[in-house]
């Protein structure tokens, strides 16, 4: 399919992931009486992936994440010519989603921007975890996330269930890591909210590109050897 159409699908998918997942954190989780909490936010991120993977996965492959794109390239699943356009549109989608979410959230008179669902380590970590803990967790979780994606889209995998498995994996990842880094495993998702949250979060963005991409590259190489390409 034409690269332009695939790039637009990536924009829409990443917009939905950022708007839905971060929106659940910024809006719904801000009201404890609704009972959404960490579990609700984790499910929201997983559901965004499931819904958009079924909607546009047949167009672009449903990456919605620069780390996934790079990991699939390392696994020799996509050509390098797709990598930069995909990443540009993914980041653009995340920034657009964060901008719209900010406008919506500001409609409440008591809204306080705060971290705006951004990711962080050290003082910006929800649980004040240090850089080493955050680095290990983001890298390991990104590795397994991309490994699952490669595995469930390989030859011999159950047909029709890939999107569900990927969405549930992202839900699990959030259940583990929200208290540590507020969960990234996705440089685009990290970039969108950070731009609006301010300098402190922007200064830590390098980490939320480096750690997920490191895990993705290792998973891509390993997964490329372990699994067969789809027929």
* Mean pLDDT across 139-165: 94
Tally Cβ neighbours within 10 Å of residue 172: 16
Q: What does the CA dihedral 209, 212, 187, 63 come to, rounded to 10 degrees?
A: 140
Helical residues (DSSP H) of 61-161, grouped into ranges:
66-74, 80-105, 131-152
pLDDT tens, position by position, 104-114: 999 988 888 99
Residue with tokens 């998702």: 189
Tally Cβ neighbours within 10 Å of residue 202: 14
Please tell me the distance from the alpha carbon of residue 116 to that of residue 21, in angstroms, as a whole number. Answer: 12
The overall average pLDDT reported for the chain is 95
Please tell me the distance from the alpha carbon of residue 138 to that of residue 172, in angstroms, as a whole number. Answer: 13
pLDDT tens, position by position, 74-100: 999 999 999 999 999 999 999 999 999
Tally Cβ neighbours within 10 Å of residue 152: 17
35 to 25, 40, 45, 110, 114: CA distances (angstroms): 12, 8, 16, 19, 21
pLDDT tens, position by position, 41-83: 999 999 999 999 999 999 999 999 999 999 999 999 999 999 9
As to burial, measured by CB atoms within 10 angstroms (0-12 exposed, 13-18 middle, 19+ buried), residue 107 is: exposed
% of the chain beyond a pLDDT of 70:
98
CATH classification for the domain delimited by 3-226, as one of 3.50.50.60, 1.20.1080.10, 3.90.1150.10, 1.10.8.420: 1.20.1080.10
pLDDT over 90 at 180, yes or no = yes
Classified as helix, coil or strand, 127 is coil
* Mean pLDDT across 193-207: 97
Binned at pLDDT 50, 70 and 90, residue 230 comes out as confident
Please tell me the distance from the alpha carbon of residue 165 to that of residue 62, in angstroms, as a whole number. Answer: 13
């Amino acid at each position: 399919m034409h690269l332009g159409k695939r790039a637009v699908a990536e924009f829409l998918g990443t917009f939905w992931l950022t708007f839905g997942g971060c929106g659940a954190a910024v809006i719904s989780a801000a009201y404890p009486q609704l009972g959404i909490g960490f579990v609700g936010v984790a499910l929201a991120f997983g559901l965004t992936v499931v819904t958009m993977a079924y909607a546009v996965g047949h167009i672009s492959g449903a990456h919605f994440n620069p780390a996934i794109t790079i990991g699939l390239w390392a696994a020799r699943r996509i050509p390098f010519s797709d990598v930069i356009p995909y990443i540009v549109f993914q980041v653009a989608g995340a920034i657009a989603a964060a901008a719209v979410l900010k406008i919506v959230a500001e409609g409440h008179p008591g809204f306080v921007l705060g971290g705006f669902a951004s990711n962080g380590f050290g003082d910006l970590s929800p649980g004040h975890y240090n850089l080493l803990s955050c680095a290990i967790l983001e890298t390991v979780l990104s590795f397994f996330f991309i490994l699952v994606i490669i595995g469930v889209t390989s030859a011999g995998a159950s047909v029709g269930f890939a999107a569900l498995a990927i969405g549930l994996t992202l839900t699990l990842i959030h259940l583990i890591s929200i208290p540590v880094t507020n969960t990234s495993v996705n440089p685009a998702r990290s970039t969108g909210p950070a731009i609006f949250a301010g300098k402190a979060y922007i200064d830590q963005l390098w980490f939320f590109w480096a750690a997920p991409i490191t895990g993705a590259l290792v998973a891509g190489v390993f997964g490329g050897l372990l699994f067969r390409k789809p027929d």
